[in-house]
Chain A
Amino acid sequence: MIAQILPLADFTAPKIEYGELAPLLVVFGAACVGVVAEAFLPRPLRHMVQLAITAVSVIVAGVLTAMLMSEKKELIAAQGAISVDGPALFTWIILLALTLISVLLFAERSVDGGLSAFAGQAAAVPGSEAEREGTAAKVEHTEVFPLTLFAVGGMMLFASANDLLVLFVALEVFSLPLYLLCGLARRRRLISQEAAMKYFLLGAFASAFLLFGIALLYGYAGTMSLGGISDVLASDTGGEALLLAGTGLLGVGLLFKVGAVPFHSWTPDVYQGAPTPVTGFMAACTKIAAFIGLMRVFYVALGGSRWDWAPMMWIVAILTMVVGSIVAITQTDVKRMLAYSSIAHAGFLLTAFVGVAQAANGVHNGITSTQAVLFYLVSYGFPTIGAFAVVTLVRDAGGEATHLSRWAGLGKKSPLLAGIFAFFLLSFAGIPLTAGFTGKWAVFSAAWTGGAWPLVVVAVLSSLVAAFFYIRVIVLMFFSDLPADSPDVALPGWQTTSAVALGLAATVVLGLVPGPVLDLAARAGEFIR
């Protein structure tokens, strides 16, 4: 009877390469364990246990990924759904490393009177009695840790999705926890909730574009797999309207996550409103996952129609660099300024992406686009989290003092902190012997060898403009007088201290001896299909 309804005889179990997918499984598994722990552990234990679960699982996943990298195993796993190739593994490693640093920031409790940066009870109405009671009882949401694990798992999956449907699922898996995390700030809760709402609505909107694009591409190719679409493109079967519309809408969804102009408008609001540790996590990790996802789709599936999408991407890249750099100049909030700076960085990354310097395109000497982007993402991610970690430490009675005027003369109050922040800014500006310099050279020269030299000219000019607003902050910190009511510099706990130290160390090392990481990026090779 059952056999008639379900043709069991025809059902073959899918082949799952558990070994190669172990890092993903560890992260997702630990996230589920975290949820269970949240439900059953007594409140006082949760913070410790959740932090341990998260840190251990991220480290284990990182070690597993490193082992996979050293074995040089490259394959398309899970029946064509996930591609475990060099770029994917490299991305996993960066994501996990940056997540570990972010988690340290999440766990910080000493800068704000023994409380974490997250709301005690997200459901309590801001300013209500319930909120005050919760704060007095030192309640906190330790759910942020499993949420982070889900997010990073989704990002890893996104960066390695070899199938449009998996891509979409991964996008939602990492986006939903982020929406939640954005709304959980302990201070300035209304603006935080507003940010979460905006991010959610616009994110949903972008997802709809993405999904519609996927549907159209399926209509064109009859398959969801990236390799399959590429094959159909090569055989040129007609139906180009579907292809072009699908490409465009898919591009919109991906460019939204990357934060490219004109799909950037959420970035400043969300970066400003979200709890700063979450902003750091998003700014670094989301950008990385989204960019690799974008490259994989456009290089692997749509590489054959490059001449159709490249001009559009050229314009987007130019707009992104120009708007990001110029609008940042007049920002008065340090988090918004960093948000626009991240937009400008997305533009710089897009130059390498649009340049399409690949062996397949006859680029044999010099750096390829994939390598350049991978390296740039590393060199961008570490200073970003470090910079946001510094932001969490400059505080006054109302929480973080993010208005730039409050940062005046910080160099006189705390030369060390201001010096570290200045160093991160110099790295963003691409001053030599910092990580950002090497990263910029990598992406620009990839774009140059790929023939996109006008883009490089625009990029160099934009980075000049960008240097101006980074310098403006340094001038403000060091060359202005300390006002009487200047904010305090909180004494960080070991968590933030180590997060800043790790970010700083990576920025220095990547600037002085970028060789090993560039080598790793070079060995990551190209996307497989």
Chain B
Amino acid sequence: MSHELTWLLVAVPAVSAAILLLGGKATNAWGHLLGTLAPLISFAFGVVLFVQMMGKATEERSETVRLFEWFSVGSIKVDFTLLIDPLSILFVLLITGVGSLIHIYSIGYMAHDPRRRRFFGYLNLFIAAMLLLVLAADYLLVFVGWEGVGLASYLLIGFWQHKDSAAVAAKKAFVVNRVGDIGLSLAVMSMWALFGTSAFAGVNAGAEHVSSTWATLLGLMLLLAACGKSAQVPLQSWLLDAMEGPTPVSALIHAATMVTAGVYLVTRSHAIYEQTDAASTAVVIVGTVTALAGAIIGCAKDDIKKALAGSTMSQIGYMMLAAGLGPAGYVFAIFHLLTHGFFKANMFLGAGSVMHGVNDDVNMRHYGALRTPMKITFVTFAFGYLAILGIPPFAGFFSKDKIIEAAFADNTVIGLCALLGAGITAFYMTRVMLMTFFGKKRWADDVHPHESPAVMTWPLIILAALSLAGGALYFAGHWIVNWLEPVVGVEEHHPPVSAAVMTLITLAVVAVGIVISVLMYRRDIPREAPVKVSPATTFARRDLYGDALNEAVLMRPGQYLTRTLVWLDNRGVDGLVNGLAALFGGLSGRLRRFQTGFVRSYALSMVFGAAFVVVALLAVRLS
């Protein structure tokens, strides 16, 4: 197999999705098996490509595959070209690898759902779109994948459509994502105007010569896009609601892969961010703010999936922070993205396994002491827990430690924020752990917790192993640094104190977080959430008022505008007729002779329009 066949990676799940979605009931019996086979084939093929790439010399690892000319207009030419290089192959392995595990897990998780085949169809659609996103060699093609994953995510969040909350959450995710998409579409159009192309090669080559204003603008547009897709402040609100989707979806799309697309986009656009300090700083600030905001939200959620979602926001914030630091951080952003993909998918699937055992209850106040009936889930979840805390030798230790180091090397305030975030992470993850698996049992009498079937536990075990071993990518001779260097560049960073001291400080902060959490959640936890809580808790429970803010700033004015316009359109014009009847007496009277209901008002609106047109023309000339 050669890299010429890279398109198969995308085509296999796409074809499978088409078969499952168009095949109808005939495919019900074996649909889930086909759906699981597709990402496995892509994964196997991805491994072959990866091994071949390892065998090549460093400078030959980047290959483009031109499939066909998509369109060309004048000098702008957009090819359907795929780029397979050290960066994209890592994503391919993550998406298809973790994706395959989640497909397998879903066979068990969705076993009793009458629409299981459709679910697998959507999942395959997602895999295809996500692979297209990371393999595209042109920003416009990235945009295609970008919209594709948005569509798949929308369909999957709303999969349990009988729940109103799911339909609302799906719509919210779609709309917020579209806000981000504006950024990407404007960026592509600017690229066409500035560079005459939107291909990576052309943009990277042209970025050096572009003015710093334009570089900043481009950087900010791309950041807007990244914020939408990766649930970064201020476009974070959809991710918590997105937990309405089935848990495998939360694990695959809203933890491991799709939400990290923003980090990918920023890293891929490194040539642009190198030209602009302003935009890079904006990326760092957005990342830092989100890292803290997500962690704070995670502290107050009783819904296990929402607590994990807050954590996802926070961890992606770390990745953005690292990506904003430039060549000093890109490698660690991607490294953390990979390890996070392992341990967060692990924990989400673990949460799903817990829910599976307790009749789909998501409230952690109704759990407690689950470590005995669900041993495998408990142990694997604990691996994820240790990894996200950054306890050596788990994967998160290597990746997060490096990001905090790089942050300190760049700016002490940012470094302190990152460090604080690590402490809060330790606090809320310990809380999740204690409330779910320790303490007294709080589940109702008719609930009989039980371990999940093997088809669900094996993916958990594999992901737990990866959560432990993922760090090898770094400590095995800084492999990932050397691997990614030709694509994104690497720059040594020098933290103010030595790396070892840094590590000790971080571990100490994490330990403080754990201790506070243990002290607080050691005692009995009430089954109902206390109502009288500190303002800080309320603040966190309400997602830091993110929704309230959206509502006040965007939704309400939007509704008023809509209502006003509709009113104007339906009745206003008529009212205007009556009000201005005296002014336009003669004209209006003549028009009224038609006496055909509203036509007179339509006609009068045309008269106003005509007057406006002529006045506008004259005004231009006279001014």
Chain A contact residues, CB within 8 Å of chain B: 194, 197-198, 201-202, 205-206, 209, 240, 244-245, 247-249, 251-252, 255-256, 261-263, 265-266, 269, 307-309, 311-312, 315-316, 323, 326-327, 329-330, 364-368, 371, 415, 426, 431-433, 437-438, 441-442, 444-445, 448-449, 456-457, 460-461, 464, 467-468, 471-472, 475, 478-481, 513-515, 518-519, 522
Contact = CB atoms under 8 A, between A and B. Distances in A.
5 contacts: A249-B610, A252-B613, A262-B609, A327-B562, A433-B148
A514 B70 contact: yes
Nearest to A310: B620
Residue of A312, A456, A514 with highest tally of chain B CB at under 10 A: A312
Contacts of B617: 244-245, 247-248, 308-309, 312
B72 interface: yes
B75 A515 contact: no
B602 A266 contact: yes
Contact of B76 (A367, A431, A467, A480): A367
A263 B606 contact: yes
Contacts of B161: 478-480
Nearest to B150: A431
B73 A460 contact: no
A433 B602 CA distance: 38
A307 B151 contact: no
B609 A366 contact: no
Contacts of B596: 194, 197-198, 201
Contacts of A327: 562, 565-566, 569
Contacts of B166: 479
B144 A433 contact: yes
Nearest to B609: A262
Contacts of B74: 364-368, 522
Interface in B408-444: none
Given A194-B597, A201-B603, A263-B606, A445 B75 contact: no
Given A265-B606, A366-B192, A475 B144 contact: no
Contact of A522 (B73, B178, B182): B73
Given A432-B148, A449-B193, A205 B603 contact: yes
Interface stretch (B167-175, B277-285, B319-327, B372-380): B167-175
Interface string B588-608: 000000101111011101101
B71 A330 contact: no
A364 B75 contact: yes
A431 B151 contact: yes
B54 interface: no
A262 B193 contact: no
B154 to A, nearest CB: 8
A475 B71 contact: no
Given A240-B621, A432-B148, A518-B71, 14 more contacts: A252-B606, A255-B609, A265-B573, A308-B617, A308-B620, A315-B616, A326-B566, A366-B75, A442-B73, A444-B185, A461-B182, A464-B178, A471-B171, A514-B70
B221 to A, nearest CB: 11
Contact of A366 (B76, B186, B602): B76
Given A312-B617, A432-B148, A448-B192, A201 B561 contact: no
Closest CB pairs A-B (n = 10):
A365-B75, A262-B609, A248-B614, A312-B616, A479-B161, A265-B602, A432-B144, A367-B73, A479-B167, A248-B613
Interface in B143-182: 143-144, 147-148, 151, 154, 158, 161-162, 166-167, 170-171, 174-175, 178-179, 181-182
A245 B621 CA distance: 12
B475 interface: no
A323 B193 contact: no
Nearest to B75: A365
Interface string B258-296: 000000000000000000000000000000000000000
A206 to B, nearest CB: 7
B612 interface: yes
B183 to A, nearest CB: 10
B196 interface: yes
Contacts of B70: 513-515
A445 B186 contact: no
Contact of A308 (B185, B193, B605, B621): B621
Interface hub of B69, B185, B606 (most chain A Cβ within 10 A): B606
Nearest to B145: A432
A468 B175 contact: yes
A515 B616 contact: no
Contacts of A311: 616, 620
B362 interface: no
A312 B75 contact: no
Nearest to A198: B599
B565 to A, nearest CB: 5
Contacts of A415: 24
B562 A475 contact: no
B11 interface: no
A448 B189 contact: yes
Contacts of A329: 562
Nearest to A241: B618
Contacts of A481: 162
A60 to B, nearest CB: 31
A209 B189 contact: no
Contacts of A449: 192-193
B475 to A, nearest CB: 41
A272 B621 CA distance: 40
A475 B158 contact: yes
Contacts of B190: 448
A309 B596 CA distance: 34
B76 A365 contact: yes
Given A364-B74, A365-B75, A262 B612 contact: yes
B179 A464 contact: yes
A249 B614 CA distance: 7
Interface in B468-519: none
Contact of A371 (B73, B178, B620): B73
Contacts of B603: 201-202, 205
B95 to A, nearest CB: 19
Given A209-B610, A262-B606, A201 B594 contact: yes
Given A202-B602, A248-B617, A460 B170 contact: no
A475 B182 CA distance: 22
Given A312-B620, A448-B192, A206 B75 contact: no
B621 A244 contact: yes
Contacts of B158: 475, 479
Contacts of A308: 617, 620-621
A490 to B, nearest CB: 21
A455 to B, nearest CB: 12
A518 B73 contact: yes
B58 to A, nearest CB: 34
Nearest to B186: A460
Nearest to B158: A479
A458 to B, nearest CB: 11
A144 to B, nearest CB: 24
A244 B614 contact: yes
Interface string B107-149: 0000000000000000000000000000000001001100110
Given A194-B597, A308-B621, A327-B565, A479 B606 contact: no
Nearest to B196: A365
Nearest to A522: B73
A327 B182 CA distance: 21
Contact of B69 (A437, A475, A515): A515
Interface in B183-240: 185-186, 189-190, 192-193, 196
Contacts of B174: 467, 471
A307 B620 contact: yes
Contacts of B24: 415
Nearest to A248: B614
A270 to B, nearest CB: 10
A249 B618 CA distance: 12
A518 B72 CA distance: 8
Contacts of B182: 460-461, 464
